[in-house]
A and B are shown apart, each in its own frame.
Chain A
Amino acid sequence: MSGTFLGMPAFPVNAADAVQNSQLRHNLRRATHTIRDKRSRVVAEVPDWAELRSAAKAIKDAALRDLDRHLLRLEETVQAAGGHVHWARDAAEACRIVTDLVRATGETEVVKVKSMATQEIGLNEALADSGIHAYETDLAELIVQLGDDRPSHIVVPAIHRNRAEIREIFLRAMPDASPDLTDDPAALAEAARLHLRQRFLSSKVAISGANFAIAETGTLVVVESEGNGRMCLTLPETLISVVGIEKVLPTWRDLEVFLQLLPRSATGERMNPYTSTWTAATEGQTFHLVLLDNGRTDVLADEVGRQALRCIRCAACLNVCPVYERAGGHAYGSVYPGPIGAILTPQMRGMGTPLDDSLPYASTLCGACYDVCPVAIDIPEVLVHLRDRSSHPRAERAALRAAGWMLARPERLARAQRLAFRLRRLVPRRLPGPLSAWTDTRDLPDIPPESFRDWWKRTEGGTR
């Protein structure tokens, strides 16, 4: 994955800063609750939601089971329709392929459709190193790019900004913005529209991702709501699409299920506003498909963890996550934040850094994410699975081992209970060291003079 976030501290450190940021907390609470409520209303309207969800799970699982076959089929159908197919093992290789393709056109500017895969590989930075400027055309990605910022949400990358902040960013970084610009959402959208219009008309190269890739027909699908994607996909002479290998669907028919699940889960819309499908190149256009692994085959090799590859990037899990709501997306140190990021990032990058080892713990295991996931990824199950593989602090390991030893025999537990009561009065109200994490905001519970088991024994089950 991208090097953009390397060297970031562990999640608890990042989150501790974020929870103190009242503007961020306010923006996130408002935005996540709005989308959450909208989603829950439109999902409740669909009588066969549960069936759609299991169908989506089954289709994705089947596609992943025979991924090699479907990918070769996709290569065949895309080539047959006049497209070029490239295979990229990792981020560096993908960036090199795309950079070379753009260089070959002689262009130094490209327009971009919002894409998680290109964010993941740090494509904009790689292009910039080669003197190519990539212009983001999705409104929220534009806000992030102009603000020299990082995305903090999968569907709404600028969710951490409110409209007053967006106005300031536009006034600062958009030379053609009117000084009278207000923070009315329509006015902000209009400013962005005028700013982007010329780019759409003049750019010769566009770069996109894809929500789905249909092996049977060689068709790629982009689901977006602003129309900027449609402009990028149709106007430029060269189109380069960077697509994760897990985006493959075997047949055109499979799409029906996902086009019902995705808009309702992602934005709470009944139907998606702009769904573009293209089979290799449109007339007069050159089309390149870059198929990206970048850690995905490692995820596929893990029997428990592989379900994360079913993800269709709807971000419903982010919008319901109480931890995401308070920590914000940047704390996760990845373009994939929230519950899905907490299981995807450590698997794709491989664990071992303090940040990646801390991500599986960025959850209370409350299960809200699993409830809303349209492809039924059991995120808590994968989190617990990854925790077992994570490296543990020495003091914690010692404490948990000691607890395990004590709980292995009821006699040891009973002795510990009696000892705890005797020692309780020696314990201060505020504990030192890592345990202050509890007593900084909470009182310790009292220790009763007699445990339940001692009471049961003494009274013979309360009969004496």
Chain B
Amino acid sequence: MRVALFITCITDTLYPQTGRAVVALLRRLGCEVDFPERQTCCGQMHLNTGYRDEAVRLARRTKRVFGKSEIVVVPSGSCAAMIREHYPRLGAEMPRVVELTEFLVDVLGVTDVGAYFPHRVTYHPTCHSLRGLGLGGRPETLLRAVRGLELVPLPRADECCGFGGTFAVKNPAVSAAMCADKVGAVLDTGAEVLCAADNSCLTHLGGALRRQRTGVRVMHIAEILASTESGGAGRTAGLSTPEGAR
């Protein structure tokens, strides 16, 4: 199957290792991956901050860039939800856009992607994945099938981490209070790795986990699913990320 990858601006800029992991994973599962190089950003930040006109421009150009693609895979719950929920209202309806774990479970019909990751992991379902897209148990199903991985439930997992895009800067006190509670819940699990399907929430949570010297690292689900006994996505699982640490 031929898929077009919408990498999202934040993963492109800050977390290229997530992007490389997505490519490696999709190829391992037999997909041919296109990366339309004219892509930039879905426009979510502009829309949610109150700049609809700019958001409309970005939405329409994203639609144009992916106009010929048969199916578009997005490794971000919130960007995928932006396209699916809001694009129709912005005059930029884009059919056949799926989030990565939806693509794996629903389109490819795979739950065991053949990954190996011998670590204690907890999963934060992120609001737009959970309530926006309705990803349900897909990410956990994929993680449970990873050899060596011990998945521990996150208490009060469905609660927002407090990122909310520009909310984190416009309402820093409440954002930090929410983050503190989420970090507390993560530490209660005793996990080494906090995993999510959205790098934006992980930027916020990872920044706090690192500031507090918790020793817990954050990883996008694609990086875990791409890991194999031979190292997976071009790097050894378990070692601290050499670049783009969150």
Q: How far is the CB of B86 from chain A (nearest CB, A)?
A: 8
Known: A364-B163, A388-B50. A410 touches B176 (CB 8 A): no
Q: Which residues of A contact B127 (CB under 8 A)?
A: 364-368
Q: Which residues of A contact B13 (CB under 8 A)?
A: 413, 417, 420, 447, 451-452
B51 lies within 8 A of A400 (CB)? yes
* Binary flags per residue of B69-102, CB closer than 8 Å to A gives 1, else 0: 0000000000000000000000000000000000
Q: Which residues of A contact B40 (CB under 8 A)?
A: 407-410, 413
Stretch at the interface among A45-53, A171-179, A454-462: A454-462
Candidate in B9, B180, B203 with the most chain A CB atoms within 10 angstroms:
B9
The one of A364, A396, A441, A449 in contact with B164, judged by C-beta atoms closer than 8 angstroms, is A364
A323 lies within 8 A of B174 (CB)? yes
Known: A388-B50, A445-B245. A367 touches B16 (CB 8 A): no
B interface, CB within 8 angstroms of A: 7, 9, 11-17, 19-20, 23-24, 33, 35, 37-41, 43, 45-52, 54, 57-58, 61, 127-128, 131-132, 158-160, 162-180, 203-204, 206-208, 210-211, 243-246
For this complex, 21 residue pairs linking A to B, each with C-beta atoms less than 8 Å apart, are A19-B174, A362-B171, A363-B164, A366-B159, A366-B160, A387-B49, A400-B51, A408-B40, A408-B61, A410-B38, A413-B9, A413-B12, A434-B169, A437-B170, A440-B176, A445-B206, A448-B16, A451-B16, A452-B12, A455-B20, A462-B23
B16 lies within 8 A of A387 (CB)? no
Within 8 A of B (CB), among A1-41: 11-12, 15-16, 19-20, 25
A15 lies within 8 A of B171 (CB)? yes
The one of B17, B47, B166, B211 in contact with A443, judged by C-beta atoms closer than 8 angstroms, is B211
| Docked complex Cα distance between A25 and B165 (Å) | 24
Q: Which residues of A contact B35 (CB under 8 A)?
A: 453, 456, 461
Q: Which residues of A contact B51 (CB under 8 A)?
A: 388, 392, 400, 404
The one of A327, A361, A438, A452 in contact with B19, judged by C-beta atoms closer than 8 angstroms, is A452
Q: Which residues of A contact B52 (CB under 8 A)?
A: 388
A367 lies within 8 A of B132 (CB)? yes
| Docked complex Cα distance between A151 and B179 (Å) | 27
Q: Which residues of A contact B162 (CB under 8 A)?
A: 322, 364
A11 lies within 8 A of B171 (CB)? yes
B179 lies within 8 A of A367 (CB)? no
| Docked complex Cα distance between A19 and B20 (Å) | 40
| Docked complex Cα distance between A19 and B40 (Å) | 37
Candidate in B43, B172, B206, B246 with the most chain A CB atoms within 10 angstroms:
B172
A298 within 8 A of partner (CB):
no
A441 lies within 8 A of B179 (CB)? yes
The one of B159, B160, B176, B245 in contact with A441, judged by C-beta atoms closer than 8 angstroms, is B176
| Docked complex Cα distance between A435 and B168 (Å) | 10
The one of B61, B131, B244 in contact with A448, judged by C-beta atoms closer than 8 angstroms, is B244
A260 within 8 A of partner (CB):
no
Q: Which residues of A contact B172 (CB under 8 A)?
A: 12, 16, 437-438, 440-441
A interface, CB within 8 angstroms of B: 11-12, 15-16, 19-20, 25, 322-323, 326-327, 360-368, 370-371, 384, 387-390, 392, 396, 400-401, 403-404, 407-410, 413, 417, 420, 434-435, 437-438, 440-453, 455-457, 461-462
B169 lies within 8 A of A437 (CB)? yes
| Docked complex Cα distance between A413 and B12 (Å) | 10
| Docked complex Cα distance between A444 and B245 (Å) | 9
Additional 11 contacts, C-beta under 8 A, given A370-B131, A438-B207: A20-B173, A361-B166, A364-B167, A366-B131, A401-B54, A413-B13, A437-B172, A442-B207, A452-B16, A452-B19, A461-B33
B131 lies within 8 A of A368 (CB)? yes
| Docked complex Cα distance between A446 and B246 (Å) | 6
Q: Which residues of B contact A441 (CB under 8 A)?
A: 172, 176, 179-180, 207-208, 211
| Docked complex Cα distance between A457 and B19 (Å) | 13
Known: A322-B159, A396-B49. A448 touches B243 (CB 8 A): yes
Q: How far is the CB of B108 from chain A (nearest CB, A)?
A: 20
Known: A407-B40, A451-B12. A363 touches B54 (CB 8 A): no
A390 lies within 8 A of B50 (CB)? yes
The one of A407, A437, A445, A462 in contact with B9, judged by C-beta atoms closer than 8 angstroms, is A407
Known: A15-B174, A455-B20. A384 touches B48 (CB 8 A): yes
Closest residue to A462 on the B side, CB-wise? B23
Q: How far is the CB of B230 from chain A (nearest CB, A)?
A: 16
Candidate in A362, A367, A440, A442 with the most chain B CB atoms within 10 angstroms:
A442
Known: A19-B177, A449-B243, A451-B13. A438 touches B169 (CB 8 A): yes
Q: Which residues of B contact A366 (CB under 8 A)?
A: 127, 131, 159-160, 164
| Docked complex Cα distance between A338 and B41 (Å) | 31
| Docked complex Cα distance between A140 and B11 (Å) | 49
Known: A408-B40, A462-B20. A322 touches B169 (CB 8 A): no
What 7 A-B pairs are tightest by C-beta distance, nearest first? Answer: A364-B164, A442-B207, A387-B50, A437-B172, A366-B160, A452-B19, A16-B173
| Docked complex Cα distance between A16 and B176 (Å) | 10
Q: How far is the CB of A455 from chain B (nearest CB, A)?
A: 5
Q: How far is the CB of A459 from chain B (nearest CB, A)?
A: 9
A445 lies within 8 A of B243 (CB)? no
| Docked complex Cα distance between A447 and B12 (Å) | 11
The one of A20, A361, A403, A461 in contact with B167, judged by C-beta atoms closer than 8 angstroms, is A361
Q: Which residues of A contact B16 (CB under 8 A)?
A: 448, 450-452, 455
Q: Which residues of A contact B169 (CB under 8 A)?
A: 434-435, 437-438
Known: A19-B174, A441-B176. A365 touches B48 (CB 8 A): yes
Q: Which residues of A contact B15 (CB under 8 A)?
A: 448, 452
Q: Which residues of A contact B245 (CB under 8 A)?
A: 445-446
